[in-house]
Amino acid sequence: MSSEVRQFTVQHDDDGVRLDRWFKRHLPDIGFAMISRWARTGQIRVDGKRADPADRLSKGQVVRVPPGGDALPKGGAKPRRELSEEDIAKAEAMVITQDRAAIVLNKPPGLATQGGTGTKEHVDGLLDAFGLDGPRPRLVHRLDKDTSGVLLIARTPGSAAYFSKRFSGRTARKIYWAIVTGVPDIADGLIELPLAKQPGTGGEKMMVDESGEGQSARTRYRVLDRAGNRAAWVELQPLTGRTHQLRVHMAAIGHPIVGDGKYGGPDAFLAGSISRKMHLHARRLIIDHPDGDQIDVTADLPEHFANTMASLGFDEEDGAALPFTPPPPGKEVLKSMAKAHAKQLRKERRGERRGRGARADTAPTTKRGPTKGKGSPKPAAGKPGPRPAPKAGPRTGSKPGPKPGPRTGAKPGPRPTGRR
C-alpha cells in the first residue's frame, strides 16, 4: 500500500457513483471497514471537505485518500496472471483500437472469451497484458468460442459499468456477418422466436420455445448476396441478447450458419473446399463512449471466412455499400414505451391536482350567510341589505291574519253619522 497521500480526479464514467463504490472500483485492496474509519476521522476528503462513504461523486471532484490501508476486501485481491512473451504478443495482435476507457479486440475463432471447465486459454486470461500500470481490464460482453470479431473490453471499472449499461439497455448496435446454407425466401426479415434452454443439455444448448415459457428473442436479417441456391451471405443484427440467438434463429428458419453443426446438424456444412469452421463474424460495433463520443469499429474477417467469400464469389465491398435500416420497435419495446408514457401522464395529472390544491389554499376565504335565492348578492359589511318586497297576496289556502287594531294610547275617532 502507498505510504503517501494520494489524490484522484473523478472521471466522467464515475459521475454519480457512491464514494464507497468508487473505492471498490479503483482501490479494491482497501476494505470497507478502513474506508468507514477514514471517513469518521475526516481523513477522506472530497474537494477538501469531509466525506461519507454514501456520498455521491461528481465529475471533476478531487478525492483525497490517506496513506496506508492494509485491510483487504473479503476474498482478497485477485492475483495477476504471469504471462509469457508469446501470450502478450497474442493479446496485442488482437487490438483494433484502444484508449483510456476501452480496448477493442478482433477475437479469432476458436478462442474462448472466458474460462470454464477444461478451458485454459481464453481472452479473459490475456487481459493482464493491458493492465500493468492500472486496474485490470474487464469483459463487458461475450462472443461464442467459435464466433470471431469485435469484442469490447473496458479499461477501468468505471467504464465497465458505463458500457455494461449500454449493452443491457440495447443502445449498443452489433452487426454480424454470416454465411448460411440455402437462401431465405424473404430477403429482408425479422425473426421473432422465443428461446429457452434445452432440457438435458446442462444449459449448453438453446431451443425455440413457444409454450410461453421462453424468453423473447428478435433478430433482424437481410441477404447481402447469394451463390445460386447453395448459400447466402447475410447480415444479422440481434435486437435482444439471448444465448446462441443468431445460431438458433437461422437454423429455425431452415438456413443454419455454415459450420454450425450444433444447431444445423449435417445440413450446416457445404461440400467442396468450404471450411468446416463456423462462419459467424461480429463485423461491426457502434456504442457510446464515456467521454461523449461514439465508438464505431469494424473487424476484418478471419482467414477461413474470407476464403469462403472468395470461393462463393462474394465481395466485401457489397456489404459495406448497403445501409442497414433500423427495424421497427418490437412488442416488448412498445409495451415499455406505453408504460413510460402512462407513468408520465399520471405524474402530470398529480402535479395539476397539487397545483389546484395549492391555489385553493392560498385563495382568500369569505363567510357567506344564508340566502334565499341562488346567487343572491351579499350585503356590504355594516350596512343592512334591502328588505324583500311585500308579497302581492296570501298564498293559496292560507288563513288571513287578524286586522290591525288601534295603536296603544291613541284616541278613538268620532262615530260616523247616518243610518245603521
Residue 129 to residue 153: CA distance in whole angstroms = 12
3-state secondary structure of 116: strand
Q: Determine how β-strand 148-154 pairs with β-strand 138-139.
A: antiparallel
Please say whether the dihedral angle defined by the alpha carbons of residues 83, 85, 90 and 94, taken in this order, is positive or negative: positive
- The DSSP 8-state label assigned to residue 370 in this structure reads P
* Radius of gyration of the chain measured on its C-alpha atoms: 40
Element (H, E) at 187: none
Q: Which of 13, 144, 146, 225 is catalytic?
A: 144
Picking from 143, 145, 142, 138, the residue whose alpha carbon sits closest to that of residue 103 is 138
Specify whether the CB–CB gap between 64 and 5 falls below 8 A: yes
Beta-strand ranges (E) seen in 244-299 are: 280-288, 294-298
Cell of 323: 445501409
Cell of 121: 486459454
Residue 98 CA, chain-centre distance (Å), reads: 25
Element (H, E) at 208: strand 206-208
- The DSSP 8-state label assigned to residue 122 in this structure reads B
3-state secondary structure of 380: coil
Residue 144 annotated to the active site: yes
Indicate which residues carry an active-site annotation: 144
